[in-house]
C-alpha cells in the first residue's frame, strides 16, 4: 500500500497531489475463478503523465472530475472530459494525462480468462475513452474495493474480484454514448417474449426492421434479440417446471414453442439437462406432483394472458 500527499512550487503556483493505491497478488485458485483484482487506487490533483506503456492486464480508470487527454497507439490525442472511463487493454500501448489543472481519478486493475466473455457481452468495450452519465455508483464500488484491501484478510481477493464484476456492470449501465431508446424496446420484448412470434414479427410489432431491432437491443443488452428472447423464455420455462405440474408440452406452449420436441432440444442444449430432469431436480411445489384441472389452469393463464388467450391456452394444455 502506498499513500502520498505533496505540496510544492511550480512557476509560482501551489502543486497539490493526493494518491493512494494498493496492489494484490492473486494465487492460482483465485485466477481459476476467471476474474481477479490486481489493484485499486484513488488519485487527484496535478498527476504525472502515464506512459507510453503497455500492460498485460485490464485497467478501468474512472475520471470523475477535470480534463485531460488520451493517446492511442497511433499517437493521436483524444480529449478526456469527466465523467468518463479510460479502458486500458492488455497488450495495447497507451499514454494519458490530465491537463494543467489536474483531475480526479480512481482505477482498478484486473485480469482473468473471464474478461474475454465480458468483452463479448459489451462490458469491456473496444473504445478506449468512454463518456459516462455519472460516476457516483462506480466510485462507491471502487471505494468498497479499497476498503476490502485496507481491512485485509483471507477473503480479500475474492471480495475484491466480486466487486470488479459489479464495477463492470455499473460502468456499462452509465455509458453516455449508448442510445437509451433501446430500453423500452427491451421492455416490449420481455413482455411479449413468450408469444409464439419470430424475431421479424417482434420487429414489426415494435415498428422496426430486424436490423433496427438488433441494433436497439444490442445497444442496451449486448446480445441480439434472438438470444435475449431465448433467455427470457428459458427462464420462464424453468419457473414453470420448478413450481407447477404442467406437462412439458404445456410448458413449451406457455413459453412460445408449439413444437414440444423442439423446445426439449433447445432447453436441453442450453440448460444441460432435459426439462423433465430439471423438474425432478428443482421442483418447489408441495412435494408431490399432481394434475392441474382445466379450470385452475384457465385462471392462472387468464391472469397471465387475459381472458381470451388464457381460455384458449388452457384448452390446448389439457387436451
**Cα–Cα distance measured from residue 169 to residue 122, given in angstroms and rounded to the nearest whole number:** 10
Could you tell me the CA-to-CA distances from 271 to 205, 209, 230, 275 in Å, in that order?
29, 31, 12, 9
Which of 139-143, 156-160, 197-201 has the lowest average pLDDT? 197-201
pLDDT band at 159 (very low <50, low <70, confident <90, very high): very high
Could you tell me the CA-to-CA distances from 266 to 222, 228, 233, 254 in Å, in that order?
21, 14, 11, 15
Which pTM value belongs to this model?
Answer: 0.74
**pLDDT tens-digit readout, 58-103:** 999 999 999 999 998 888 899 999 999 999 999 999 999 999 899 9
Candidates 288, 281, 251; CA nearest to 266 is 251
**Cα–Cα distance measured from residue 183 to residue 187, given in angstroms and rounded to the nearest whole number:** 6
How big is the chain, counted in residues?
319
Could you tell me the CA-to-CA distances from 303 to 22, 50, 190, 297 in Å, in that order?
54, 59, 17, 10
In contact, 57 and 112? CB cutoff 8 Å: no
Amino acid at each position: 500500500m502506498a499513500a502520498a500527499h505533496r505540496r510544492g512550487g511550480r512557476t509560482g503556483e501551489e502543486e497539490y497531489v493526493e494518491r493512494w493505491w494498493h496492489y494484490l497478488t492473486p494465487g492460482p485458485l483465485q485466477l481459476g475463478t476467471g476474474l481477479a483484482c490486481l489493484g485499486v487506487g484513488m488519485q487527484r490533483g496535478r498527476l504525472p503523465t502515464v506512459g507510453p506503456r503497455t500492460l498485460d492486464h485490464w485497467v478501468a480508470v474512472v475520471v470523475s472530475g477535470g480534463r485531460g487527454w488520451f493517446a492511442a497507439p497511433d499517437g493521436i490525442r483524444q480529449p478526456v472530459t469527466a465523467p468518463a472511463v479510460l479502458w486500458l487493454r492488455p497488450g495495447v500501448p497507451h499514454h494519458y494525462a490530465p491537463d494543467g489543472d489536474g483531475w480526479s481519478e480512481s482505477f482498478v486493475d484486473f485480469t482473468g480468462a473471464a474478461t474475454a466473455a465480458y468483452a463479448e457481452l459489451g462490458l469491456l468495450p473496444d473504445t478506449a475513452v468512454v463518456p459516462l452519465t455519472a460516476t457516483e455508483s462506480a466510485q462507491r464500488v471502487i471505494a468498497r474495493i479499497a476498503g476490502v484491501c485496507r481491512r485485509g484478510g483471507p477473503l480479500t481477493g475474492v471480495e475484491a474480484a466480486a466487486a470488479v464484476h459489479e464495477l463492470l456492470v455499473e460502468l456499462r449501465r452509465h455509458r453516455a454514448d449508448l442510445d437509451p431508446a433501446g430500453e423500452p424496446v427491451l421492455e416490449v420484448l420481455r413482455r411479449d417474449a413468450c408469444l409464439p412470434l419470430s424475431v421479424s414479427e417482434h420487429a414489426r410489432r415494435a415498428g422496426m426492421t430486424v436490423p433496427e431491432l438488433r441494433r436497439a437491443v444490442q445497444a442496451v443488452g449486448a446480445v441480439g434479440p434472438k438470444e435475449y428472447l431465448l433467455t427470457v423464455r428459458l427462464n420462464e420455462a424453468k419457473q414453470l417446471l420448478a413450481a407447477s405440474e404442467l406437462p412439458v408440452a404445456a410448458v413449451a406452449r406457455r413459453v412460445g414453442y408449439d413444437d414440444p420436441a423442439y423446445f426439449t432440444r433447445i432447453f436441453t442444449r442450453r440448460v444441460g439437462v432435459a426439462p423433465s430432469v430439471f423438474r425432478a431436480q428443482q421442483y418447489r411445489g408441495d412435494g408431490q406432483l399432481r394434475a392441474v384441472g382445466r379450470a385452475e389452469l384457465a385462471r392462472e393463464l387468464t391472469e397471465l394472458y387475459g381472458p381470451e388467450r388464457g381460455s384458449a391456452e388452457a384448452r390446448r394444455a389439457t387436451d
